[in-house]
Structure formats: structure tokens, C-alpha cells
Amino acid sequence: MTQDDDSKLEIEFIYSETCPDCPPAKKILEKVIEDFEGVNVEYIKVKNASEKLKKYDITHIPTVIIDGEVAHVETVEEKELRENIERKKEEI
């Protein structure tokens, strides 16, 4: 594993294709991560996320998990997401 791999921030975005809140949340996530290097986003359809739903006790979508910590549920605000990513990047 290289140093670059070690500094990657992992984000998981759990969504549904029928969720009205998911597309705007995805747009905000994609806009915010453009400003950060070393961020890997995995988009996971809720129907394929049963283990994650149990592990994190997720009952609403969209859900954003940043480095193993549920950071946003149902709503994704740009300012808050940016702050959460910055905080997590500092911890790396």
C-alpha cells in the first residue's frame, strides 16, 4: 500500500433510484468532493446494502458514511458535508 492509498478518505453513499431526496444529495456530494484530493466514493443501492443497513442501523436514505462513520442521513447540506470531510481528512 502506498502513502497515497493510506491517505484516501472513503465515502459510501447509500441511495435508492426511487428516492426523491437522493439525486439532490448526490449532486451536493459530487460538487463538494471536487474540492478534495484523495476521496473515494462508493455509490451503493439500498437494495444491495443489507449488511451496511444492519451494521450502521440505517433506516433512512440517502445516507452518507465517511470513513466508517454515519455522517448524513436523509438530508445532505453542502456546508456540513464539507466540514465533515475536512475534519476527517485532518484525522488521516
pLDDT exceeds 70 at position 3: no
pLDDT exceeds 80 at position 10: yes
Higher pLDDT, residue 36 or 1:
36
Q: Where are the domains of the chain?
A: 3-91
Residue 7 confidence (pLDDT): 62
Q: Is 33 left (phi over 0), alpha (psi -120 to 50) or beta?
A: alpha
pLDDT digits (tens, 9 = 90+) for 19-70: 999 999 999 999 999 999 999 999 999 999 999 999 999 999 999 999 999 9
Pairing assessment for the beta strands 63-66 and 39-45 based on DSSP bridges: unpaired
Q: How far apart are CA 58 and CA 63, in angstroms?
A: 8
Fold of the 3-91 domain: Glutaredoxin (3.40.30)
